[in-house]
């Protein structure tokens, strides 16, 4: 099975992809995690990515595709689920070219649909330690003592970009930026929308039913 997970911030793409990895043996390939690994390894690709990250610039589509192509060559026989890639129609086209060279193709682009109030609730739950910078979440990773960091006892605060007003702005920007990518997969007949409301187990079961219906799961 080879799929792309799409959806706005807070839709639960990372949590869902981790379950596919653990339960189905389908490799979870997260762009952010792969970038961090390549930078930590100080690989040639990692050094190139690091220059953009340090300067606050977006990593060019061609370089993103190159990094992911290297990782896709090592993907398990059971397939992969991509989280955070592609982000643009240009990256999607690059992914198609990479898979074609490997005599493979994408099975689907699965878009998780969640109403904005739910996304705001999920995203606004993040808390950050004012002393050591450790991250927590009121829904998925609660501190042992309310309002205090488990690690150093520092006070937990809400970052400015995690406040509801800023989150709604972020979601609007993301929706506009994602429109060409969603349209690309719709035109190719690969787009499948799945209700993202509910806990991760509920959404997992919905996507599993979709995979079985289309016989994408490895035998």
Catalytic site positions: 13, 87, 126, 159, 170
CA distance 85 to 180: 14
Q: What is the pairing mode between strands 2-6 and 27-30?
A: unpaired
Tokens 């690709």: give the residue: 45
Long-range contacts of 209-216 (CB under 8 A, 24+ apart): 210/108, 210/110, 211/1, 214/107, 214/108, 216/1, 216/3, 216/107, 216/108
In sequence order, what are the beta bridge partners of 195? 113
- Length of the chain measured in residues: 219
Write the burial class of residue 201 (CB in 10 Å: 0-12 exposed, 13-18 middle, 19+ buried). exposed
């Amino acid at each position: 099975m080879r799929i792309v997970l799409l959806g706005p911030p807070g839709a639960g793409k990372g949590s869902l992809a981790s379950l596919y990895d653990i339960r189905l043996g389908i490799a979870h390939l997260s762009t952010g995690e792969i970038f961090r690994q390549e930078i930590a390894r100080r690989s040639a690709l990692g050094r190139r990515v690091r220059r953009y990250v340090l300067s606050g610039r977006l990593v060019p589509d061609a370089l993103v595709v190159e990094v992911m192509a290297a990782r896709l060559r090592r993907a398990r026989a059971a397939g992969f689920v991509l989280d955070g890639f592609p982000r643009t129609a240009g990256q999607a086209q690059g992914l198609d070219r990479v898979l074609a060279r490997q005599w493979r193709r994408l099975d689907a682009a699965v878009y998780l649909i969640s109403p904005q109030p739910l996304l705001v609730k999920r995203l606004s739950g993040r808390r950050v330690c004012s002393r050591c910078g450790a991250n927590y979440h009121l829904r998925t990773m609660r501190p042992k003592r309310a309002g205090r960091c488990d690690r150093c006892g520092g006070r937990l605060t809400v970052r400015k970009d995690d406040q509801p007003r800023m989150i709604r702005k972020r979601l609007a920007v993301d929706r506009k930026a994602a429109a060409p990518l969603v349209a690309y997969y719709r035109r190719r007949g690969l787009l499948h929308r799945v209700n993202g409301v509910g806990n991760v187990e509920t959404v997992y079961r919905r996507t599993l039913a979709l995979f079985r219906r289309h016989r994408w799961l490895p035998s």
